[in-house]
Amino acid sequence: MRPGSVSPCILVVDDEPQILKALRTNLEARDYRVRTASTGRAAVIELADASPDLVILDLGLPDISGTEVLASLRSWSDVPVIVVSARTSDPEKIAALDQGADDYLTKPFSMGELLARVRAALRRHVPGDPAPILVTEDFSIDFARGVAEAAGEPVHLTPTEWKIVTVLVRSEGRLVTQRQLLDEVWGEEFENESGYLRVHMTHIRRKLEPSPAQPRYFRTEPGIGYRFTRGEPS
Q: Is residue 1 part of a domain?
A: no
Give the per-residue pLDDT at 114: 94
| End-of-domain residue from the set 124, 148, 173 | 124
Q: Is residue 192 part of a domain?
A: yes
Q: Is residue 172 part of a domain?
A: yes
Give the per-residue pLDDT at 185: 81
**148 close to 157: Cβ distance less than 8 angstroms:** yes
**76 close to 131: Cβ distance less than 8 angstroms:** yes
Give the per-residue pLDDT at 58: 93
* Regions of the chain short of the pLDDT cut 70: 1-6, 126-131, 188-192, 231-234
Same-domain status, 31 and 49: yes
Q: Is residue 195 part of a domain?
A: yes
Give the per-residue pLDDT at 20: 94
Q: Is residue 31 part of a domain?
A: yes
Same-domain status, 95 and 201: no
- pTM flag (> 0.85): no
Domain CATH for 197:
1.10.10.10
Q: Which residues are within 8 A (CB) of 147 and not within 5 positions of it... i.e. 6 or more apart? A: 141, 154
Give the per-residue pLDDT at 67: 87
Q: Is residue 84 part of a domain?
A: yes
- CA proximity to 99, closest of 87, 81, 120, 84: 81
Same-domain status, 33 and 110: yes
Domain CATH for 37:
3.40.50.2300
Q: Report the domain count for the chain.
A: 2
Q: What is the pLDDT of residues 45-63, one digit of tens each?
A: 888 777 789 999 999 899 9
| End-of-domain residue from the set 90, 124, 158 | 124
Name the 3-class secondary structure at 201: helix
Containing structural domain, residue 155 = 133-228
Give the per-residue pLDDT at 4: 38
Helix residue spans in 86-158 (DSSP H):
90-99, 111-124
| End-of-domain residue from the set 124, 156, 184 | 124
- Rounded distance, CA 126 to CA 227, Å? 24
Q: Is residue 58 part of a domain?
A: yes
Give the per-residue pLDDT at 203: 95
